[in-house]
Amino acid sequence: MQSAAAFTVSQSLPLLKPRKFAPNPRFEPIVCSLSSRRHDLGVLSGNVVSSSPSLPLRRSWTLSSSPSSSMFRPWTAVPFIDPEAKNRFEVRATAVPESAGGEEEKSSNLSKTLQLGLLFGLWYLFNIYFNIYNKQVLKVCHYPVTVTVVQFAVGTVLVAFMWTFNLYKRPKISGAQLAAIVPLAVVHTLGNLFTNMSLGKVAVSFTHTIKAMEPFFSVILSAMFLGEMPTVWVVGSLLPIVGGVALASVTEASFNWAGFWSAMASNLTNQSRNVLSKKVMVKKEESLDNITLFSIITIMSFILLAPAAFFMEGVRFTPAYLQSAGLNAKEVYTRSLLAALCFHAYQQVSYMILQRVSPVTHSVGNCVKRVVVIVSTVIFFKTAVTPINALGTGIALAGVFIYSRVKRIKPKAKTA
DSSP letters spanning 369-405: HHHHHHHHHHHHHT----HHHHHHHHHHHHHHHHHHH
Together in a domain, 143 and 81: no
Domain-embedded: residue 322:
yes
Q: What is the pLDDT of residue 46?
A: 44
Q: What is the pLDDT of residue 38?
A: 42
Domain-embedded: residue 97:
no
Together in a domain, 194 and 275: yes
Together in a domain, 82 and 151: no
Together in a domain, 347 and 234: yes
Q: What is the pLDDT of residue 363?
A: 81
Give exposure, 102-138, as e/b (b: 16+ Cβ within 10 Å): eeeeeeeeeeeeeebeebbebbbbbbbbbbbbbbbbb
Domain-embedded: residue 416:
no
- Fill in the DSSP letter of residue 86: G
Helix (H, G, I), strand (E, B) or coil at 203: coil
Together in a domain, 244 and 300: yes
Sign of CA dihedral 212, 214, 215, 216: positive
Q: What is the Cα–Cα distance from 172 to 86, expressed in whole angstroms?
A: 56
Domain count, the chain: 2
Together in a domain, 206 and 339: yes
Domain-embedded: residue 117:
no
Helix (H, G, I), strand (E, B) or coil at 340: helix
Domain-embedded: residue 5:
yes
Domain-embedded: residue 140:
yes
Q: What is the pLDDT of residue 238?
A: 92
Together in a domain, 239 and 339: yes
- Fill in the DSSP letter of residue 52: S
Q: What is the pLDDT of residue 274?
A: 78
Query: pTM of this prediction?
Result: 0.71
Together in a domain, 335 and 387: yes
Q: What is the pLDDT of residue 370?
A: 92
Q: Last residue of some domain: 91, 108, 138? A: 91
Q: Last residue of some domain: 72, 91, 110? A: 91
Together in a domain, 68 and 166: no
Domain-embedded: residue 104:
no
Together in a domain, 144 and 210: yes
Q: How far is CA 23 from the centre of its chain?
A: 68
Domain-embedded: residue 413:
no
Q: What is the pLDDT of residue 289?
A: 79
Per-residue confidence in pLDDT tens, the chain, 416 aa: 444 444 344 444 444 455 555 555 444 444 444 444 444 444 444 444 444 444 444 444 444 444 444 444 444 445 555 555 545 545 454 555 555 556 777 778 888 889 999 999 999 999 999 999 999 999 999 899 999 999 999 999 999 999 999 888 888 888 888 888 899 999 999 999 999 999 999 999 999 999 999 889 989 988 888 888 888 999 999 999 999 999 999 989 889 999 999 999 999 998 888 777 766 554 544 557 778 888 999 999 999 999 999 999 888 888 888 888 888 999 999 999 999 999 999 998 988 888 888 777 888 888 899 999 999 999 999 998 899 999 999 999 999 989 988 887 766 654 44
Together in a domain, 186 and 42: no
Q: Last residue of some domain: 42, 66, 91? A: 91
The domain of 57 spans 1-91
Helix (H, G, I), strand (E, B) or coil at 60: strand
Q: What is the pLDDT of residue 163?
A: 92
Residue 283 amino acid letter: K
Together in a domain, 239 and 284: yes
